[in-house]
Amino acid sequence: MIETSPRLSYLMQQIGASSFLCVRISKDTIQKRYTTYPSDLIFLGEQYISKNVVAAIEKPKMTSIVDRDLYKITVADSDRQEFANIFDQGLTGADVEVHAGFIDNATGLPETNESFIIYIGKVANYEYNVDTTESGEVKAVITCTNPMAALDATKPYYTSKQFMRQIDPTDTSYDEVFEGSHKLVLDWGK
């Protein structure tokens, strides 16, 4: 169960509660911070820019093995300048964080000291999508890994005498587990 502070609980329970997202992408010298809030803001001690850049965030789908590893951030990049230079530097492996913040309806101001962490992970892939219709939109699609994908990963554990000797030279737990081994009868408790 997710525990929230009294302040966040209050903001979420307001009638017509409003939220905004803050996206941070960082790798070496690359530092990009964007928000869906209507104006720039200092959020959790960092400056986030509101340029109407974050177009969509698609969370991972759990419908099949094929698409459950994807977490997509779509960024409007109409003049292909916002991300062109960092795409050239290589964005794969960059750290990504997405936070959800809330707006206090009483004051109309955003809560900038507390948030929900929506996503923490790494960039897996990135590309430009160019719409050649009348509007001619250019969007940068940043595909991130899904935190649940790590649960699919399994490491083989070899049950052989040699494998166990690599881990601990004194381990004898698999000495009798090899081709041509013989049956071993243990009398427990005697």
Domain coordinates in residue numbering, the chain: 6-147
* Phi/psi of residue 98, nearest 5 degrees: -125, 125
Token pair belonging to 116: 């929900």
**Percent of the chain with pLDDT strictly greater than 70:** 67
Residue type, 51: K
Name every residue whose Cβ is closer than 8 Å to that of residue 32 and which is 6 or more positions away in sequence.
23, 24, 25, 26, 86
Exposure of 184 in the CB half-sphere (CA atoms within 13 A): 10
Residue type, 134: E
| pLDDT at site 149 | 54
Name every residue whose Cβ is closer than 8 Å to that of residue 10 and which is 6 or more positions away in sequence.
none
Q: How confident is the model at residue 111 (pLDDT cuts 50, 70, 90)?
A: confident
Q: Which of 87-96, 132-141, 144-153, 161-170 has the lowest mean pLDDT?
A: 144-153
Taking the complete model, does pTM exceed 0.85, yes or no?
no
* Chain mean pLDDT for the chain: 75
**Percent of the chain with pLDDT strictly greater than 90:** 1
Nearest alpha carbon to residue 116 among 14, 17, 20, 38:
20
Token pair belonging to 158: 């070899």
